[in-house]
Structure 1
């Protein structure tokens, strides 16, 4: 069976294509972020897995939660979570519109095909499509030691030239890599670490 990421791709592309064509990219991103957070919560799982609850009812729960907790004048944990979402482009005084009929229909389609559990992956792919449309990509760099300013600038310029996009680097350190670094952009991973090279050598010797 295909993995969740593969199953989510066509839904994410359809969602982004519609949102981009109709000027509602941020609105759909906001909802997908909150909805993906909800479906990952263990308290939502019994409802998600309950065959006695219809697809329309399951999707209605997500829409109602967003409309009452985010698209309202009251402060809420979901609204704070959305404002603090890394990379979110809205300012602190933004008003969030209620879920549109088109977005609600999209959620119903996911529910009817028993795909609500894919929402976290749909959200990540949606963000990737948005970044591509803006010619901006996130590169997650894990290195054995903190990058120097020179290394960071060189890596950023090389990635930008290779990907033909502006690149935002997110750094983390993992001493177990021994040396070098791993770089993840979208679904692509480049392992240039000493640990990775040793593992490749071990695989070659035991093949």
Structure 2
């Protein structure tokens, strides 16, 4: 049997092609991001596997959750998660549209074909289609301390210039780096942390 990633590819391509043609790429990406997290939840996954629950009920549950917890909420854990994924500061003022009829029908089709479990893989492939279309790259920056606005802007500007692409910064903090930061783009890792420099020095001294 084909693996989940292979099974997800045609669904992701169909989703991105439609969203791209209709100018709703970000809206679909936002929903797929939240839905992939929900599907990965153990209790929800068990519920999805329950044959007594209809396909329509399963798809409706995902849509309703997004509409109430993201589109219809001033503040919620899901909305904060989505804000963070977008690289935005969590804000109760941020608004997201409710799930469209087309997107709802897409989820319903996945459910009817017993493919809702593919949503995490659909999301990852969808993001790749978007990145290729926009020539956009994800940069994962891990710093010893939270980045300032100036540092974030400098990193983004320099990466965009060197990679000739739009760059989306994903931030995390690791105090064990001592100072500086590491940057991962694709398979490339730039280690400009104090811990990394000390390790380099140790290697040189013991070589």
TM over 0.5: yes
Specify the SS of the correspondent of 2:104.
helix
Q: CA deviation at 1:121?
A: 0.6
Corresponding residue of 1:110: 110
CA distance in 2, matches of 1:12, 1:60: 20
* Paired position in structure 2 for 1:63: 63
The C-alpha deviation readout for 1:4-43, integer Å capped at 9, x for no partner, is 1111111111101111111111111110011000000011
- The answer for the alignment partner of 1:3 in structure 2 is 3
The answer to whether the 8 Å contact 2:75/2:91 transfers is: no
Structure 1's unaligned 5+ residue stretches are 142-151, 173-182, 191-207
Partner of 1:48: 48
Q: In the comparison of the two structures, how many residue pairs are matched?
A: 167
Q: Following TM superposition, where does structure 1 have runs of at least 4 consecutive aligned residues deviating by more than 2 angstroms?
A: 86-94, 137-141, 164-172
Give the direction of change, closer, same or farther, for the CA distance of 1:111–1:9 in structure 2 (3 Å limit).
Answer: same
Deviation of 1:45 (Å): 1.7
Q: Is the 8 A contact 2:38 2:44 kept in 1?
A: yes
Distance in 1 (alpha carbons) for counterparts of 2:77 and 2:168: 28
Q: 1:103 to 1:88 in 2, by over 3 A?
A: farther
Task: Render the CA deviation track for 1:83-113: whole Å, top value 9, x for unaligned.
Answer: 1115469987431111111000000111111
Alpha-carbon distance in 2 for matches of 1:170, 1:96: 21
Q: Secondary structure at the match of 2:137?
A: strand
Match of 2:101 in 1: 101
Alignment partners' CA distance in 2, 1:184 and 1:4: 25
Matched, 1:15 2:10: no
**Residue 29 of structure 1 corresponds to which residue in structure 2?**
29
> Distance in 1 between the 2:47 and 2:3 partners?
23
Q: Once the 2 structures are TM-superposed, how far is the Cα of residue 73 of structure 1 from its aligned partner?
A: 3.9
* Contact 2:75-2:92 within 8 A present in 1 as well: no
TM-aligned CA distance change 1:139 to 1:73, over 3 Å: closer
The 3 A distance-change label for structure 1 pair 74 and 139 is closer
| Contact persistence 1:128–1:137 (CA under 8 A) | no
